[in-house]
Amino acid sequence: MKRAFSKFRSIVRLLNNWPLYVLDYLKLVPRREVTYRLRNGVKFKLHTRTSECVALAEVWVHRQYDPPEGFGDHDVVVDIGANVGLFSVRAATHALRGSVFAFEPAPDNFTRLKENIQLNGLANVIPMQAAIAGKTETRHMYLGTQDTVSHSLWKGWGGSDQQITVQCKTLEDAMREYNITHIDLLKIDCEGAEGEIILGMGDATLRRIRRIGMEVHEWPGSDNTGQLKSFLESKGFLVSTERGFDAVRATWAPQVDEVTPYASAREPATSRSATAAAGSSDAGTVAK
């Protein structure tokens, strides 16, 4: 009960129209598009009776993907699985002199991603209609049965056999195509494809990434978190994991040393870890 009250209080602090969130969360409103208005001026057009309101809380209340030390004003952020822009907009309102590259392959989500970028007057978000994956190729994407946040390159993940064809790129190819020389924060939430993305990266790409925040998706008998943790540590990252939301663990991996990224990951002064800041409000502002 105490935890539920704390979450409720956080939502009230975040949103001007928080009663709508409560009704949406309890699925007491019909399926429609609504506009959530944050107290700092940010706005989002979201669909009710989906998990989009839950994702809103994960990104803006729990700050699931935020770097522990905060955003830098000039940060370059890559958002893999941008969905309708909840994290892309958040990053852009903090890294006002930086750039956010938002990758989202699903056509409906991509349209709404662009709408939310425009709704907030952000010129530093570059939306890209593509999936980041282990190979540059055309693939099937399987759509979630009733939700916009569970589309996946992996069959069965979203609970549906309905599929569309999407263009996939490796992160290395995307960085080359869009002239991304380095990444201060790589955010990944791509419904099961995180393994092929991370494990498929070459050393030259990894050394250009400063921090990684991602959801790691598990299924019965898997240990994707352990595998990715071991891989990143072998490449010079410090990694911490925690059980996140919806029984998914979030992985943070800041590099130990930007000059020698494969240095021993044992120096406590450089250690960072992800924390879910439940109950905290946000101070970001909308670009005018």
- Condensed to tens digits (0 to 9), the pLDDT of residues 222-275 reads 888 888 889 998 998 888 887 654 333 445 676 654 433 322 222 322 323 332
Is 43 domain-assigned?
A: yes
Is 17 domain-assigned?
A: yes
* CA nearest neighbour of 279 among 1, 4, 9, 39: 9
Boundary-marking domain end, from 64, 82, 102: 64
Is 138 domain-assigned?
A: no
Answer yes or no: are the C-beta atoms of 70 and 277 closer than 8 Å. no
Asked if residue 15 and residue 48 are part of one domain, the reply reads yes
Boundary-marking domain end, from 64, 97, 118: 64
Answer yes or no: are the C-beta atoms of 153 and 139 closer than 8 Å. yes
**Is it the case that residue 77 has pLDDT exceeding 70?**
yes
Kindly report the CATH number assigned to the domain that includes residue 265. Answer: 3.40.50.150
Asked if residue 206 and residue 246 are part of one domain, the reply reads yes
Boundary-marking domain end, from 43, 64, 85: 64
Domain count, the chain: 2
**Is it the case that residue 53 has pLDDT exceeding 70?**
yes
Asked if residue 116 and residue 1 are part of one domain, the reply reads no
Is 155 domain-assigned?
A: no
Please tell me the least confidently modeled range out of 83-87, 122-126, 146-150, 174-178. 146-150
Q: How many residues does the chain have?
A: 288
Share of the chain above pLDDT 90, in %: 59
Is 145 domain-assigned?
A: no
Asked if residue 45 and residue 179 are part of one domain, the reply reads no
Asked if residue 69 and residue 41 are part of one domain, the reply reads no
Q: Note the pLDDT of residue 276.
A: 25
* Both tokens assigned to 274: 């992800």
**Residue 153's pLDDT band (cuts 50, 70, 90):** confident
Q: Note the pLDDT of residue 162.
A: 84
Calpha distance 258→120 (Å, rounded): 33
Asked if residue 196 and residue 58 are part of one domain, the reply reads no
Please tell me the least confidently modeled range out of 42-46, 65-69, 74-78, 241-245. 241-245
Pick the more confident residue, 30 or 273: 30
Is 108 domain-assigned?
A: yes
Q: Do strands 76-80 and 99-103 pair parallel, antiparallel, or not at all (unpaired)?
A: parallel
Is 140 domain-assigned?
A: no
Q: Note the pLDDT of residue 143.
A: 87
Q: Note the pLDDT of residue 156.
A: 66
**Domain containing 52: what range?**
1-64
Asked if residue 71 and residue 58 are part of one domain, the reply reads no
Q: Note the pLDDT of residue 241.
A: 81
Asked if residue 48 and residue 189 are part of one domain, the reply reads no
Asked if residue 126 and residue 11 are part of one domain, the reply reads no
Report the pLDDT averaged over residues 216-227: 82
Which amino acid is residue 80, in one-letter code? I
Quote the Cα angle for 176-182-185, to 5°: 120
What pLDDT digit, counting tens, does each position of 108-151 carry? Answer: 999 999 999 999 999 999 999 999 999 999 999 888 876 788 78
Asked if residue 180 and residue 56 are part of one domain, the reply reads no
Report the pLDDT averaged over residues 27-36: 96
Q: Give the mean pLDDT of the chain.
A: 83
Asked if residue 18 and residue 99 are part of one domain, the reply reads no
Say what the pTM is. Answer: 0.85
Is 179 domain-assigned?
A: yes
Asked if residue 197 and residue 55 are part of one domain, the reply reads no
Q: Which residue has the tokens 């050393």?
A: 203
What are residue 163's DSSP bridge partners?
142
**Is it the case that residue 38 has pLDDT exceeding 50?**
yes
